[in-house]
């Protein structure tokens, strides 16, 4: 972050079309900290007074600060013997402009993550929560577990990667000395605009209910509908809305608590989320410490009722949550509210990393209600971790084209697919720059056959390289994978990038005579090979698996589908003995007759054409 000690990049929670609150902050005038529970309210009071005096205050509270407001709110003891404060705020005279990207080559950041919570432990925790619900102790518990990892590279590069992976929302990067918070949370905790007497409008927007994004436009729309119409997801959201209505009533003017928007579905890069708005007008005399006393921690990360849910969380979770599930934000003067007015905006720090040196922690969790299924919740956790997968290692977008005698095969379709991937991952795309890059390469390879790799980096810079392309003899031999392809539904499968470790794990052994590996998903559905699509002759016609099975929609496949020479159909492992012919398909090599090597499957020795 160069000389910046904090960055704030917040949406305007009251107007999606308004400019973002996007500032940097340098060395603070002073720092306010609370290391004991009894110091937390005083810190919040001092923050409020500083903002009313015209200063900007950036910081937050750890989840373990909750008993400062109510001793009945159970939490674990602080980590590191209390080295990290329960509340921390830096006081600044004014914000600075957002820093420009450094000139030269972009910095990289990489994270090596430890193994996540074992599935058996996850299932056991869910069973205990279900038992507690059956006993009437609570209605919902937000169960979480930490991921631990190690960072190599610059923290500012990691924050930039996190913002690309999870754009929008309420992002902040704050250096708190002992720890650093890197948050790209999409969830608003509260936005409070108060006059000098503490009277003003307060908005909370709890986020409960999750569905993974779909593999295609139709599948994505179906996922949104399923989330919106799911009784379980709706109940999960409404329970927390009721909790926050009750919490807000503690500081609200009578009759002012309202729910103007309920069960709204919001599209994020890797998941659909359900949110609701709960609004109120605070009573005269309300202070920032009163707002936190009424609301903290946010009910969306505890469950309901809050006291019983937090007792369950302390019993189920192995250690403190830290900044995760606490609150991070900014308290600032509000000129629109008159002299002494303030605006306080805090996120709920989900999708948030806490850094100490090279060590990183990131919590993942979900709300568990009656009827929740362990497999579905486990998939939800995986979907919520997807932003980390994006940010943990740099990658470029990739297209592989055939260049023959100065002409690129299916160039327009490849560029359209590259542009779709750029939009999906938030990479800038300049069609003119990409076309110019390819033109220069064509001029250098005007004759012969070439394999072209077109790459686009996170900053939208294209580059292209070419190697000689030799003809491939057919039929080629494909070997059926020995295990399911767990990454079938990953965005790094649906879009072609240089992140190919999940494919490399299934690559044939050199010298085996096997051309490629035939993959299938965890439902036993055939998907693709590690670098091409598959076609099978079944019941007299040529078919290829649909995108919903989990595969890269190749350009060669797209051409054959458009021409009507290939049709989409689900193909399972049980169907393999009935297949009358096989072919490997991609844009680079075209159509290659194939044989499949698998138990119970008869190889096709003769070339079959369509």
Q: Is the pLDDT of residue 79 over 70?
A: no
Domain limits, CATH 3.60.120.10, in the chain: 6-391
Domain limits, CATH 3.20.10.10, in the chain: 476-597
- Out of 48, 64, 208, 491, the active site residue is 208
Assign 270 a pLDDT band (cuts: 50, 70, 90). Answer: confident
Per cent of the chain over pLDDT 70 is 96
pLDDT at 80 (0 to 100): 59
Instruction: Tell me what percent of the chain is helix, strand and coil, each rounded to the nearest 5.
Output: 30, 35, 35
Ranking 102-111, 282-291, 395-404 by mean pLDDT, the lowest is 102-111
Q: Which residue has the higher pLDDT, 182 or 115?
A: 182
CATH architecture of 6-391: 4-Layer Sandwich (3.60)
CA neighbor of 496 nearest in space, from 415, 386, 396: 396
The topology under which CATH files domain 476-597 is D-amino Acid Aminotransferase; Chain A, domain 2 (3.20.10)
Length of the chain: 610
- Out of 48, 64, 187, 308, the active site residue is 187
CA 294 from chain centre, in angstroms, equals 30
Mean pLDDT of 483-497: 94
CA neighbor of 284 nearest in space, from 257, 254, 253, 256: 253
Backbone angles phi, psi at 148, to 5 degrees: -115, 140
Residue 39 CA to residue 475 CA, distance in Å, equals 75
Provide the mean pLDDT of the chain.
Answer: 93
Domain limits, CATH 3.30.470.10, in the chain: 397-468
Active site residue 187: yes
The topology under which CATH files domain 397-468 is D-amino Acid Aminotransferase; Chain A, domain 1 (3.30.470)
pLDDT at 107 (0 to 100): 64
pLDDT at 519 (0 to 100): 98
């Amino acid at each position: 972050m160069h000389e910046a000690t904090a960055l704030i990049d917040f949406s305007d929670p009251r107007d999606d079309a308004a400019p973002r609150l996007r500032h940097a902050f340098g060395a603070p005038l002073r720092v306010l900290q609370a290391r004991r529970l009894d110091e937390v309210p005083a810190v919040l009071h001092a923050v409020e007074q500083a903002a009313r005096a015209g200063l900007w205050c950036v910081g937050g509270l750890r989840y373990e600060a909750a008993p400062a407001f109510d001793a009945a709110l159970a939490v674990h003891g602080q980590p590191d013997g209390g080295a990290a404060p329960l509340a921390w705020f830096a006081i600044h005279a004014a914000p600075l402009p957002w820093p420009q990207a450094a000139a030269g080559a972009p910095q990289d950041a990489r994270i090596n993550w430890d193994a996540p919570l074992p599935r058996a432990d996850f299932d056991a925790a869910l069973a205990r929560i279900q038992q507690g619900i059956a006993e009437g102790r609570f209605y919902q518990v937000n169960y979480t577990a930490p991921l631990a990892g190690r960072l190599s590279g610059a923290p500012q590069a990691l924050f930039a990667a996190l913002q690309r992976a999870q754009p929008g929302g309420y992002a902040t990067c704050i250096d708190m000395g002992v720890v650093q918070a890197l948050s790209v949370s999409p969830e608003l905790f509260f936005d409070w605009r108060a006059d000098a007497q503490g009277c003003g409008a307060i908005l909370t927007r709890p986020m409960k209910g999750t569905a993974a994004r779909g593999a295609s436009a139709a599948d994505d729309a179906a996922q949104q509908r399923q989330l919106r119409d799911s009784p379980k997801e709706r109940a999960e959201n409404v329970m927390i809305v009721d909790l926050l209505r009750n919490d807000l009533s503690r500081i609200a003017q009578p009759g002012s608590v309202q729910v103007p928007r309920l069960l709204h579905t919001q599209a994020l890069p890797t998941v659909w989320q359900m949110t609701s708005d709960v609004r109120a007008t605070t009573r005269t005399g309300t202070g920032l410490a009163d707002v936190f006393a009424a609301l903290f921690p946010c009910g969306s990360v505890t469950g309901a009722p809050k006291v019983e849910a937090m007792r369950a969380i302390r019993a189920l979770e192995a250690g403190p949550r830290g900044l995760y599930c606490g609150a991070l934000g900014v308290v600032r003067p509000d000129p629109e509210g008159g002299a002494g007015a303030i605006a306080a905006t805090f996120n709920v720090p989900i999708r948030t990393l806490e850094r100490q040196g090279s060590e990183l922690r990131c919590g993942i969790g979900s709300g568990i209600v009656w009827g929740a299924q362990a497999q579905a919740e486990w998939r939800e956790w995986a979907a919520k971790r997807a932003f980390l997968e994006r940010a943990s290692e740099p990658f470029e977008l990739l297209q592989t084209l055939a260049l023959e005698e100065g002409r690129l095969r299916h160039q327009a379709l490849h560029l359209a697919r590259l542009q779709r991937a750029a939009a999906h991952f938030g990479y800038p795309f300049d069609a003119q720059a990409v076309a110019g890059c390819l033109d220069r390469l064509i001029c250098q390879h005007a004759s012969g056959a070439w394999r072209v790799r077109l790459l686009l980096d996170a900053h939208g810079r294209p580059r292209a390289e070419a190697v000689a392309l030799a003809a491939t003899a057919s039929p080629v031999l494909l070997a059926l994978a020995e295990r399911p392809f767990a990454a079938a539904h990953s965005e790094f499968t649906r879009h072609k990038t240089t992140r190919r470790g999940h494919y490399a794990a299934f690559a044939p052994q050199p010298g085996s005579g096997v051309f490629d590996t035939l993959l299938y998903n965890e439902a036993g559905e055939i998907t693709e090979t590690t670098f091409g699509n598959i076609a099978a002759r079944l019941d007299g016609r040529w078919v290829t698996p649909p995108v919903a099975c989990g595969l890269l929609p190749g350009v060669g496949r797209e051409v054959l589908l458009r021409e009507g020479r290939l049709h989409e159909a689900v193909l399972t492992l049980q169907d393999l003995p009935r297949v009358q012919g096989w072919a490997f398909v991609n844009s680079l090599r075209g159509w290659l007759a194939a044989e499949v090597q698998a138990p119970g499957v008869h190889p096709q020795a003769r070339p079959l054409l369509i």
